[in-house]
Amino acid sequence: MESQSVTGHSRPIAVFDSGLGGLTVLAALCQALPHENFVFLADRARVPYASLSPALISRYACECAAFLADFDPKAVVIACNTVSAVALKDVESIFSAPVINVLHPTASAAAKLTTNRRIGVLATTATVKRNTYATVLKELVPNVEITSQGCPLLVPLVEEGWTQGDIPRLIVEHYLDRLKAALVDTVVLGCTHYEFFREHIQHAMGRHVNLVNTPSVTAEELKLLLPEPQKQQGSVTIYSSDVTDALFKVVESLFLNSTDLTIETVSVEDLSKRKVLA
């Protein structure tokens, strides 16, 4: 999308994902823009979205968007590739504020990084089926060869808090077989949950392979939208439709230095009663 300047400092920036993966994006946004107020929603009670039909993914995503629209955000970040691939237009239509998503900045970064024009895309099965990464990358890189791999076990592992050790490593390695065989020089982590497996993926692919950093390229994109920051310290409010230890652990690991951070529960009933005209 074209950059658009946004005014107003106290209105929050709204960010959402189906689950914990979006917190990796939120952490990068907070680091890049420490003076902003963020309101984040993780729809953990209904994660993973990728195993649902496109119609239901869109409905849940729009319910999340409608919840966040009540905060009158000055900008919105869809921190979920699956929603970006399946329901982008529906979600955008809910906000009057500018909406950015993780998929387009990630694809642009991959296009800049590849030198052999062989790009691997790891994503949820819903994102792979939609083919959005391949479509966007083909527009950006002539004669690009895309190897896409659905990784359905990775989101549940993150939600379970099981990202370290031999079993996650072996699962990740299994999903990388086709990318290695295709000699890709650049890999897109096309699901924000996969950031938690970055080290496993980098190690298995080799240090010579570029892994696109979605949280950081998304933060750069968001920065382009915003005017110079004010001096006050920003705040972070994290809503989740289910609050468990796994959420606290991930928040602790990603937001060690955040003083002004609160975690709140929003019920699925509250989300689903929102009337959405998507």
Chain residues that interact with ligand DGL, rule: CB under 6 A: 17-19, 21-22, 47-50, 80-82, 124, 127, 155, 191-193
- State the minimum distance, in angstroms, from the CB of residue 48 to ligand DGL: 3
Q: How far is the CB of 250 from ligand DGL (least distance, A)?
A: 12
CB 64 within 8 A of CB 43: yes
Nearer to ligand DGL, 80 or 184 (CB): 80
Set 30, 62, 64, 191: catalytic member: 191
Q: Is 221 helix (H, G, I), strand (E, B) or coil?
A: helix
Shortest separation between residue 103's beta carbon and ligand DGL, angstroms:
9
Supply the minimum distance, in Å, between the C-beta of residue 194 and ligand DGL: 8
Non-local CB neighbours of 228 within 8 Å, separated by 6+ positions: none
Identify which of 120, 100, 78, 96 has the alpha carbon closest to the alpha carbon of residue 210: 120
Report which residue type is found at 138.
K
Return d(Cα 131, Cα 138) in angstroms, integer.
Answer: 11
Smallest gap from Cβ 83 to ligand DGL, in A, equals: 7
Torsion angle, alpha carbons of 104, 96, 75, 158, to 10: -60
- Smaller CB distance to ligand DGL: residue 74 or 211? 211
Crossing angle for the helix pair 245-254 and 22-32, to the nearest 10 degrees: 30
A 10 A CB-CB count for 277 gives 8
Q: Give the helix/strand (H/E) hosting 179.
A: helix 166-181
Please say if 191 is a catalytic residue.
Answer: yes
Nearer to ligand DGL, 97 or 128 (CB): 128
Distance CA(187)–CA(195), nearest Å, equals 12
Tally the C-alpha atoms within 13 A of residue 265's C-alpha that lie toward its C-beta.
8
Does 151 participate in catalysis according to the annotation? no
Backbone angles phi, psi at 187, to 5 degrees: -125, 130
Give the angle subtended at the CA of 172 by the CAs of 170 and 173, to the nearest 5°.
65
Q: Which is nearer to ligand DGL, 23 or 234 (CB)?
A: 23
In the complex, what is the shortest distance from the CB of residue 208 to ligand DGL, in angstroms, rounded to a whole number?
A: 26
Rounded to whole angstroms, how far apart are CA atoms 233 and 258? 10
- Residue number, 155 or 254, with CB nearest to ligand DGL: 155
CB-nearer residue toward ligand DGL: 74 or 84: 84
Out of 30, 64, 80, 151, the active site residue is 80
Amino acid symbol at 70: D
Provide the annotated active-site residues.
80, 191
